[in-house]
Amino acid sequence: MKSTALTLSLATALVLSLGACSKQDAPTTPAAATTTVAAISSSSYDKVAATGKGFTVGALMSAQAVYVLFDPQCPHCGHLWQSSIPLHSKVKFIWVPIAFNTGKSLSQAAALLSAANPAETMTAHEQSLLAGTGGMAASSPSDELVQTIKSNTQLLSSLGADSVPFIVAKNRRTGEIVSNNGAMDTDALAKLLGVD
């Protein structure tokens, strides 16, 4: 009985570590698996770089920019945030918040964008979210921030993606445009980005 419970717990953890939250799912309900997305072109990467509005953490002077589109209510995004922290000394991450709903996602996305210390705020938010307490409390956002989040959400759709976290980057070793839908552990993320 104990072995079956352990096996079930490990299987659940694996599904959660590979999953993503989609627009069709409630952001707090994990999808069963990652979503496959067609290869991202150089022009799509440039579009994200030019129009995605987010906050920057990590190696701010790095020439390698990694864009992560995420919903603040997505637990898989929280897992990806945690996986990215060990790479902050190597890579510049731009976290681009989207909102699949206008409830907590929108207000939390706006709060993260306007935070004085986004890395600290995001870490506290994701710890709260993953602990099951819903993340940070946030007030009603300004019209300007609402429009920014809506534009980011439309950007995600224009890339052909319908779930988060969604990563768009250039592999440091190859220069190839890479993308991934769903959470990853630190080693897999480093390999995707060419910094392993």
**Mean pLDDT on 167-195:** 95
Residue 70: what pLDDT? 97
Domains plus CATH for the chain?
A: 2-193 (3.40.30.10)
Residue 37 has pLDDT above 90, yes or no: no
Q: Shortest CA distance to 48 belongs to which of 166, 184, 181? A: 166
State the pLDDT confidence band at 67, using cuts at 50, 70 and 90. very high
**If 0-12 CB within 10 Å is exposed, 13-18 middle and 19+ buried, where does residue 36 land?**
exposed
Query: Is residue 1's pLDDT more than 80?
Result: no
pLDDT at 21 over 90: no
Tell me the mean pLDDT in the region 132-144.
Answer: 93
**pLDDT, averaged across the chain:** 84
User: Widest CA span of the chain, in angstroms?
Assistant: 54
User: Can you give the pLDDT at residue 8?
Assistant: 31
Mean pLDDT to the nearest integer, 3-24: 44
Which candidate, 158, 165, 159, places its Cα nearest to that of 16?
165
- Confidence band (pLDDT; 50, 70, 90) for 25? low
Strand partners of residue 69? 96, 166
Per-residue pLDDT band for 20 (boundaries 50, 70, 90) equals: low
**What pLDDT is attached to residue 23?**
63
Question: pTM of the entire structure?
Answer: 0.83
Q: Please tell me whether the peptide bond between 165 and the residue prior to it is cis, using omega within 30 degrees of 0.
A: yes
Question: What's the CA gap between 70 and 27, in Å, rounded?
Answer: 10
Q: Give the Å distances, CA to CA, from 112 to 3, 32, 109, 117, 135.
A: 41, 27, 5, 9, 11
Residue carrying the six token digits 């707090």: 28
User: pLDDT band at 135, cuts 50/70/90?
Assistant: very high
Q: What was the pLDDT predicted at 18?
A: 47
What integer pLDDT is reported at residue 39 of this predicted model? 61
Give the contacts of 123 (CB within 8 A, at least 6 positions apart). Answer: 81, 85
Name 164's bridge partners: 21
For 107-124, the pLDDT digits (tens) are 999 999 999 999 999 999
